[in-house]
Amino acid sequence: MIIKYIRPVILILALVVVFSFCAKKESDKIEKGKIEMGIKKQSFGKTPDGIDVDLYTLTNANGLKARLITYGAILVSLEVPDKNGTPGDIVLGYDDLDGYIKENPYFGAIVGRYGNRIAKGKFKLDGVEYRLATNNDENHLHGGIKGFDKVVWQAETVQKKEAAGVKFTYLSKDGEEGYPGNLPCTVIYELTNADELKVRYEATTDKATPINLTHHSYFNLAGQGTGDILSHQVLLAADYYTPVDEALIPTGELRPVKDSPMDFTSAKAIGKEVDLVKGGYDHNFVLNNQNGTLALAAKVVEFSSGRIMEIYTTEPGIQFYTGNFLDGTITGKAGKVYKKHYGFCLETQHYPDSPNKPNFPSVILRPGEKYTHLTVHKFYASQE
């Protein structure tokens, strides 16, 4: 009697399981244009010296989500739909503040006062020699020991008709990490309904100073922690790059990319020639557009998810870094272990070591002038 009923019962149970799995998959999908745009503020904990850190979640009308914290003005996650409409977090990072404070290779951070290296932490300006904090052997990297990525920024929300944003402000004091001049800085992140993440920078100073602000997300368009980024296809709008010495300091030369592994003028997989570049890509590319207007700098395509990212910038350079120093010792979000090449950075910027390279575009900001920089990350997905 019981045996007679067992098979249909098992069949019904199996159908229920399959149905609820499919229903869940459907509900994971984002319905374009149907989500309420918004900004949510929450606590993200306290720094060891007791300063409150806040988390802002920006959501656009298509369900893209950017989560930003006041510590380092860090983008802690960025959820973007794939070709099936299923959202995925495409930037590396940590689940909590502790992770960012203990050891952060600049995941998602705003880098300043000077992005990338200044040789021997020294430069001369108007006849005066300045000595900066050194934190990369004998060189100065990403603003020094306590750069803009390690300070708590003030924040206020920015709500527009077609965008949700956060405006971060920070006053870098005269003498901080060795730099001259008080430098009030503003960084505004906006998530627009056109599926763009815009980063807009502004600063002024009361003494001449070098400045080079950038954003340092490590991307993996297949989803953070899912594997290496070697099959991503990259295009860079750059006919020249700045070769470097052993310590990754530019030699001063602008070299054509043509006929070298540095040639990304047509899209190619990152992994195609990465082994021909000692250590992996960690180079500044000289963008073809040098006139300060917004122009396409890079396009990245990841076929399995269909996700595509385009980067537009007003800056003259872009640092292409392929996560060469990730070595499996960092456990990031959702317990994911980050190994070599698990993320790539495309940092829009002026060239490294410009304060010591008179032939590079100037990075000197003087009293009465305004530093401005706009970078736009545009996201979409393709079925191909």
Chain residues binding ligand BGC by CB under 6 A are 105-106, 116, 248, 282, 319, 321, 325, 345, 347
Label residue 381 left, alpha or beta by phi (over 0 means left) and psi (-120 to 50 means alpha): beta
The closest alpha carbon to 58, from 182, 243, 258, 198, belongs to 198
Smallest separation, CB 282 to ligand BGC (Å): 5
**CB-based burial, 48-68: b 16+ in 10 Å, e otherwise:** eeeeebbbbbbbbbbbbbbbb
Label residue 276 exposed, middle or buried (CB < 10 Å: 0-12, 13-18, 19+). exposed
* C-alpha span between 281 and 324 (Å, rounded): 8
**Pair 132, 120: CB distance under 8 Å:** no
The catalytically annotated residue of 347, 350, 373, 377 is 347
341 is catalytic: no
What whole-number distance in Å separates Cα of residue 95 and Cα of residue 331? 10
CB of residue 275 vs ligand BGC: minimum separation in angstroms? Answer: 18
Instruction: Please say whether the dihedral angle defined by the alpha carbons of residues 186, 322, 240 and 248, taken in this order, is positive or negative.
Output: positive
- Closest CB 196 distance from ligand BGC, rounded Å: 23
One-letter amino acid at 121 equals G
Question: Phi then psi for 14, rounded to 5 degrees?
Answer: -60, -40
Q: What share of the chain is helix, strand, coil (3-state, %, to 5)?
A: 15, 40, 45
- By beta-carbon proximity to ligand BGC, the closer residue of 234 and 248 is 248
Could you check whether the bond before residue 255 is cis, i.e. omega within 30 degrees of 0? Answer: no
Residue whose C-alpha is closest to residue 232's, from 222, 240, 224, 241: 222
- Whichever of 118 and 163 has its CB closer to ligand BGC, that residue is 118
Minimum distance from CB of 218 to ligand BGC (Å)? Answer: 8
Characterize the bridge pairing of strands 255-256 and 240-242.
Answer: antiparallel
Cβ-closest position to ligand BGC: 105
Taking the complex as a whole, the smallest distance from the CB of residue 19 to ligand BGC amounts, in Å, to: 46
Is the CB of 54 or the CB of 228 nearer to ligand BGC?
228
Q: Which two tokens stand for residue 368?
A: 């009465």
Q: How far is the CB of 162 from ligand BGC (least distance, A)?
A: 31
Active site residue 216: yes
Closest CA to 286 of 355, 240, 237: 240
Q: To the nearest whole angstrom, how small is the minimum distance from the Cβ of residue 289 to ligand BGC? A: 21
Q: Which of 215, 216, 232, 373 is catalytic?
A: 216
CA angle 381/267/213 to nearest 5° reads 80
- 22: buried, middle or exposed (CB in 10 Å: 19+, 13-18, 0-12)? exposed
Residue 176 has phi, psi (to 5 degrees) of: -60, 125
Q: In the bound complex, what is the minimum distance in angstroms from residue 111's beta carbon to ligand BGC?
A: 7
Residues annotated as part of the active site: 216, 347
